[in-house]
Chains A and B, each alone.
Chain A
Amino acid sequence: MIEMRGVTIRYGDTVAVDDVHLTLPTGKIYGLLGRNGSGKTSLLSALASYRRPNRGTVLVDGVEAFENPRVMRGTVFVRDTLDLNDSDRVRTALEVAGWLRPTWDAEYALKLLDIFELDSRKRVSALSRGQRSVVGVVLGLAARAPLTILDESYLGMDAVARTLFYRELLADYLSHPRTVILSTHLIEEVADLFERVVIIDRGRILLHDETDALRGRGVTVTGPADRVTAFAAGHTVLGEQSLGGVRALTLDGRLEPGEIARGEQAGLTFGPLGLQDLFVHLTSQRLEASR
């Protein structure tokens, strides 16, 4: 169990993470979604003990994580700025990981380098953006750490490499179950891998739910403006678009089949909401239904 109790992170006057309470059962693949500046990276830094919260604590299996050797040895945090020296060669980075990480699998690391076709003799400074992402992914996966956190590190890869990454991540998760937290913008692409999704917005946790519970949550109702507005009464409105006399409202929650039937008879059409659209609407300005 990974717990964040009242975690607050401040940078001067800015509050990046605002009194967050979060309980993450271990052994699952989590997706962390949030806009830029939502506090995502700060949250992950706290989880990885890279940053001590201004208030609150992070506990892993009941023990405070910060500066705990066992917890920190069991955590790998890969972020976009690879925490490597430019002058190092890739194979040196792998070597060092082998010296320091008890769970490091050197053979697996080499196999991954092979799959991604990366020459380990290259220096970090000579790597392209995609290759940097590959190194990050290799360091993250081969560490076989019980808590594996990847902060958008794979976003520099092209679509083919990303597909390889998802395949390798899932395969290794199946053979070596652990807690994996991926933060991402590419929701549609990765969502199938997530068992649970956590959405952070403006430093607060908006939701933490099973991915499947979010699929099919939310609906767009389109039709004559006044009838749409009447239908939406009592529901949370996430977004609105009007053109002439036609209005489309995006509503949160699920509708009963009966409700839908009545709406259709009134001439309204309904469209389901994909995960990405749901995320976009939830993290944009919220509107009141009474408008």
Chain B
Amino acid sequence: MFNDRSPIYQQIADGIKNDILSGSLREDEQVMSTNQYAAFYRINPATAAKGFAQLVDEGVLYKKRGIGMFVSPDAPGKLRAARRERFFAEALEPVLDEAERVGISIDEITHYLGSRR
């Protein structure tokens, strides 16, 4: 489930963010407790807790004392906005670098995008 090439708490946080963006987790829906998460994915609970703590810090999740953790109502929107910001720098630029390496012109790319519309 997790690879050992980057911190797992980060992979957990990213995984939950993906679930929120895809709609698997909805606003104000309760997420698994860290212990449940740890037992389910067979990882150390402290690692799970760190991932969840990061999401709370980022405002993606919020805690209800004594009950559990829930998806923030504005989480999907915020995540989408952040991902949009990073899309061009992190997803698109590397594609353009590769295109340059291989010798594909921007026009070719535009033409391809046009046919995909």
Contact = CB atoms under 8 A, between A and B. Distances in A.
B46 interface: yes
Interface SS of chain A: helix
Q: Which of A28, A216, A274, A275 has the most CB of B within 10 A?
A: A216
B33 to A, nearest CB: 10
Interface in B35-53: 35, 38-39, 41-47, 50
Nearest to A216: B6
Nearest to B34: A174
Contact of B47 (A171, A211, A275): A211
B7 A174 contact: no
Interface residues of A, number: 24
A173 B48 CA distance: 14
B42 A215 contact: no
B39 A191 contact: no
A274 B5 contact: yes
A158 interface: no
A174 B35 contact: yes
Contacts of A215: 4-8
A231 interface: no
Q: Which of B3, B4, B8, B47 has the most CB of A within 10 A?
A: B4
Contacts of A191: 4
Interface of B: 2-10, 35, 38-39, 41-47, 50
